[in-house]
Chain A
Amino acid sequence: MSYLEFLEEFGARYLDGSLITLIQAVCSSILAIAIAATMGLMRLSHLWGVRAIATCYVEFFRGTSLLVQLYWIYYVLPLFGVPLDNFTAGILGVGMNLGAYGAELVRGGIQSVPRGQYEAAIALNMSPIGRMRRVIMPQAILNMLPPWGTLLIELLKGTALVSLISVADLMFEAKQINGSTYLSAQAFGTALVIYYIMARLIITPLMRWSETLLSRRMGRA
């Protein structure tokens, strides 16, 4: 079977799998960003308790592995009366795990804004929320974008693990096709190339574009 014939026969399944992977990636990105923003801000709170909760969250999810978390969410959480279908479990696992890494990026981004900016905002009598929203965040977000690009690629790679709880994503399809054809190089190689395309031709340009857009708006470009 030539590679063209291989693609002709299995192309549709790769497309289906890619679509599932993209949906998983988008949904867990949204969850990860929401968690990162919340936990990142909580880690900067001046209240000890709030900081401690966020630190525990971050250390816990960064201290264990994504695969362990996915299995735990999918196989153990139902025992506590939280039955989850594999699709949701996948999004939850990936989003919560990468959210913990993102929280550190949010914290670092906010801390990278020079102290003088806070002080100027105080001198202009801005409220604490106003300072954060109007002065600190816009600058922090621009500083954060490059590491977030890297993190989103890690997230995309992380979604491949949801195949192990039987979500029919790209990785899952590749495994199935390998199992029925034994054409391993084609089966897994094709999936590798598709992941690479998603990372390099979708995520990276998207992040670059938002970076240029934001820095132009800030008069830096």
Chain B
Amino acid sequence: MAFHWRWDFTWDILPQLAMGALNTLLAAVLGYLIAMVIGLGFALLQRTGIWTLNRLVREVVEFIRSTPLVLQIFFVFYVGPQFGLTLMPWTAGMIAIGLHYASYLSEVYRGALDAIPRGQWEACRALNLSPQRTYAGVILPQAVPAALPGMGNYLIGIFKDTPMLSVIGVAELMHTANAIGGNNYRYLEPYTLVGLIFLLISLPAAFGIRRFESWVRRALGMGRGH
């Protein structure tokens, strides 16, 4: 088998790969939404002031962050049936990738909240603002722009990690390419196209996210971004 690019084969498989790419995008967005919510939970649970709870959540976050996502995907998918609970590949995949990125995002949230100077909290106290006003009017408008770069990185990160979902049979891009390759005994075109599709999506996405960040900073009147 020598290097020989077949265009007819390329055109044949492109529609299937496009479908796979759509599923990849869907998985990334769904996973990210889950991660955003659970991540916020992780971050807030670490600010309760209850020492044991803070410590426990911290350890859970550290554990999830320091172990491989692909292993977590297997774990979530296979452990259910052992105890009589069968999860669909999509469900298991979303739980695993959502939890994994929740642990990353909780760190981003935490960092953004910690970066707000003490004086801001003290000024709110001095002005006798309600907790709601403190968060909505003062803290979040400063924390959100601080969190955006990290959040943007992880949005692209989750997109690039979705190929791991193929290991439990989620029909995303990588899985589609594997199937095509196996059926036709040709890997050159499908794998190369997968790489190109990833580049074509992630590079403009990275650019767009940076634009979005500086737009938010401008909209909040915090200078011209960078």
Contact = CB atoms under 8 A, between A and B. Distances in A.
A160 B82 contact: no
A117 interface: no
A33 interface: no
Contact of A157 (B3, B69, B192): B69
A69 B195 contact: yes
A67 interface: yes
A196 B75 CA distance: 15
B198 A65 contact: yes
A76 B192 contact: yes
B74 A72 contact: no
A60 interface: yes
Interface stretch (B37-45, B120-128, B161-169, B213-221): B161-169
A76 to B, nearest CB: 5
A76 B3 CA distance: 9
A60 B184 CA distance: 27
Contact of A79 (B3, B66, B83, B166): B3
Given A178-B74, A192-B67, A68 B198 contact: yes
Given A75-B181, A80-B3, A199-B66, A175 B74 contact: yes
B160 to A, nearest CB: 4
A171 to B, nearest CB: 6
A142 B2 CA distance: 48
Nearest to B163: A67
Given A64-B160, A184-B79, A191-B71, A196 B198 contact: no
A195 B74 contact: no
A195 B68 contact: yes
B202 A64 contact: yes
B79 A63 contact: no
A59 interface: yes
Interface residues of A, number: 43
Contacts of B206: 63
A185 B78 CA distance: 8
Contacts of A137: none
Contacts of B1: 79
Contacts of A72: 191-192, 195
A183 B195 contact: no
Interface in A66-125: 66-69, 71-72, 75-76, 79-81
Contact of B72 (A59, A62, A80, A192): A192
A164 interface: yes
A107 to B, nearest CB: 16
Interface in A181-212: 182-185, 187-189, 191-192, 195-196, 199-200
Interface of A: 59-60, 62-69, 71-72, 75-76, 79-81, 153, 156-161, 163-164, 171, 174-175, 178, 182-185, 187-189, 191-192, 195-196, 199-200
Given A67-B163, A160-B71, 17 more contacts: A63-B198, A63-B203, A63-B206, A64-B198, A64-B199, A67-B174, A69-B195, A72-B192, A76-B191, A79-B2, A81-B3, A157-B68, A158-B68, A184-B81, A185-B79, A195-B71, A199-B67
6 contacts: A64-B202, A65-B162, A72-B191, A72-B195, A189-B75, A196-B63
